[in-house]
């Protein structure tokens, strides 16, 4: 058995004239074992790049010297040591990335992709929905034209946020504008394409209910994070006043937190993120939890190509999969090149990659060339979660 000998956090960004363009950042974790095996994982950056980078270094202290082939035991030991793991996003995303890398190593040692270690795949191709496609869309016509382009690529489902800069509450003007955008997309793609409405967890319950009543006629497949993530009472109120499907889960960081939403019937489509739920070790348990309650899975998959590769592996074993979120076609080229562009979308599907471990090859030379020092991110008027141009241009 191999012991974990080194864990290195890597901040990656495309550079121009020697300075980093921080609009697109990846935090990668490289794990090396005593026998020279290497595994890779990915953490979530948001506005906490330095915090996450430093937390990975701290969490690593709990993993160095442990057996690489025992990710379950290692996770449980860190859960015991950390004490606040279920309450710390930074610790959760650091732990998740290390856990991913360990499963990558186990797969490489056994010569099998991760899906084979978890019971085998139930599908050869993963159906995906499009996100990131509506950059710079403001008017209904903008949304409609871009939506048509997405459908031409072969996608049968697309997600978008039609609410502009509204936060917490929405007035009649905002409702009308959102409805016009949604109506334009529905008319552009027809009734055979699923439309998914992203709220980004930013409304109070009353405003979210007004939105649901206004948009239900356009038959959205789900309403994602209609209220603030932690607003359980608001979510219960929303559930009482609309029959639309609720999707949520990207901000969940533990199995037991997930169980609250699932067991209370507050979610129809669960969106765990393998970069903060606890990696593969906890992710596989979340799949089973959701299956037991007839809840479908659509992994949150918005950051980088390493996360995407793990999401494909886990989607392959998920019997209760709805779709997998997909930004891949809207990634900057360097993110695709990190995995040698091995996870291309074809006609709305991605073939399950089957190389040992993560399923894809990692372009280690490119990773090295993209390394930058972690730094604070500037806080912009347009939040980091906004698909660029759909908020700031609206204000100007």
pLDDT digits (tens, 9 = 90+) for 310-362: 999 999 999 999 999 999 999 999 999 999 999 999 999 999 999 999 999 99
Which position among 199, 228, 300, 349 bears the catalytic label? 300
Please tell me whether residues 98 and 131 are part of one structural domain.
no
Any domain includes 363: no
Residue 349 bears catalytic tag:
no
Which pLDDT does position 394 carry in this prediction? 63
CATH number, domain of 29, equals 3.30.390.10
Please tell me whether residues 277 and 174 are part of one structural domain.
yes
Which of 112, 146, 170 marks a domain boundary? Answer: 112
Distance separating alpha carbons of residues 248 and 266, to the nearest angstrom: 9
Which pLDDT does position 14 carry in this prediction? 83
User: Is residue 327 helix, strand or coil?
Assistant: coil
Please tell me whether residues 65 and 135 are part of one structural domain.
no
Burial label, 233 (beta-carbon count in 10 A; 0-12, 13-18, 19+): exposed
Exposure string for 337-351, b = 16+ CB within 10 A, e = fewer: ebbeebbebeebbbe
Any domain includes 371: no
Distance separating alpha carbons of residues 300 and 322, to the nearest angstrom: 12
The enclosing H or E element of 114 equals helix 114-117
Distance separating alpha carbons of residues 159 and 182, to the nearest angstrom: 11
Which pLDDT does position 88 carry in this prediction? 97
pLDDT digits (tens, 9 = 90+) for 100-113: 999 999 999 999 99
Which pLDDT does position 1 carry in this prediction? 77
Which of 96, 112, 128 marks a domain boundary? Answer: 112
Please tell me whether residues 307 and 213 are part of one structural domain.
yes
Residue 300 bears catalytic tag:
yes
The enclosing H or E element of 41 equals strand 38-43
List the chain residues with pLDDT less than 70.
15-23, 392-396
Which of 79, 112, 145 marks a domain boundary? Answer: 112
Please tell me whether residues 210 and 332 are part of one structural domain.
yes
Please tell me whether residues 17 and 97 are part of one structural domain.
yes
* Structural domains of the chain, count: 2
For Cα atoms 302, 69, 52, give the angle at the middle one, nearest 5 degrees: 35
Q: Are the C-beta atoms of 372 and 15 separated by less than 8 Å?
A: yes
Cα 300 off chain centre by? 3
Please tell me whether residues 105 and 126 are part of one structural domain.
no
- Alpha helices by DSSP H, listed for 132-278, are 140-152, 172-189, 205-215, 232-241, 255-263
Strands (E), 288-396: 296-297, 324-326, 349-351, 371-372
Please tell me whether residues 69 and 173 are part of one structural domain.
no
Cβ atoms within 10 Å of 121's Cβ, excluding its own: 19
Distance separating alpha carbons of residues 120 and 181, to the nearest angstrom: 41
pTM of the model: 0.96
Please tell me whether residues 81 and 27 are part of one structural domain.
yes
Which pLDDT does position 390 carry in this prediction? 87
Q: Are the C-beta atoms of 124 and 353 separated by less than 8 Å?
A: no
Which position among 199, 200, 228, 349 bears the catalytic label? 200
Which pLDDT does position 231 carry in this prediction? 97
Any domain includes 302: yes
Domain that holds residue 70: 4-112
Please tell me whether residues 175 and 201 are part of one structural domain.
yes
Please tell me whether residues 40 and 151 are part of one structural domain.
no
């Amino acid at each position: 058995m191999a012991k974990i000998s080194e864990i290195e956090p890597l901040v990656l960004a495309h550079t121009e004239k020697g300075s980093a363009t921080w609009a697109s950042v990846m935090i990668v974790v490289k794990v090396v074992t005593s026998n020279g095996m290497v595994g890779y994982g990915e953490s979530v950056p948001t506005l906490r790049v330095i915090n996450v980078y430093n937390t990975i270094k701290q969490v690593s202290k709990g993993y160095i010297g442990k057996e690489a082939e025992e990710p379950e035991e290692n996770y449980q030991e860190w859960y015991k040591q950390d004490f606040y793991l279920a309450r710390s996003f930074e610790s959760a995303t650091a732990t998740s990335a290390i856990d991913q890398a360990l499963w990558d190593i186990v797969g490489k040692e056994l010569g099998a992709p991760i899906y084979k270690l978890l019971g085998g795949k139930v599908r050869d191709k993963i159906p995906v929905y499009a996100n990131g496609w509506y950059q710079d869309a403001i008017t209904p016509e903008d949304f409609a034209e871009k939506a048509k382009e997405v459908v031409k690529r072969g996608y049968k489902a697309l997600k978008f946020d039609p609410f502009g800069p509204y936060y917490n509450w929405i007035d009649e003007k905002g409702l009308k504008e959102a409805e016009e955008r949604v109506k334009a997309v529905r008319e552009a793609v027809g009734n055979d394409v699923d439309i998914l409405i992203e709220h980004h967890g930013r409304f109070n319950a009353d405003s979210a209910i007004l939105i649901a009543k206004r948009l239900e006629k356009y038959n959205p497949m789900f309403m994602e994070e209609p209220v603030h993530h932690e607003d359980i009472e608001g979510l219960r109120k929303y559930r009482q006043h609309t029959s639309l499907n609720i999707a949520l889960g990207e901000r969940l960081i533990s199995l037991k937190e997930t169980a609250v939403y699932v067991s209370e019937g507050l979610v129809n489509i669960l969106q765990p993120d393998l970069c903060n739920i606890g990696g593969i070790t906890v992710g596989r348990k979340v799949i089973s939890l959701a299956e037991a309650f007839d809840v479908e899975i659509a992994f949150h998959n918005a950051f980088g190509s390493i996360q995407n590769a793990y999401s494909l592996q886990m989607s392959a074993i998920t019997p209760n999969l709805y779709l997998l979120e997909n930004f891949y076609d809207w990634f900057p080229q360097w993110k695709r090149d990190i995995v040698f562009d091995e996870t291309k979308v074809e006609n709305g599907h991605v073939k399950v990659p089957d190389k040992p471990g993560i399923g894809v090859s990692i372009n280690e030379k490119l990773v090295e060339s993209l390394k930058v020092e972690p730094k604070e991110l500037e806080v912009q008027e347009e939040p980091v979660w906004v698909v660029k141009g759909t908020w700031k241009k609206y204000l100007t």
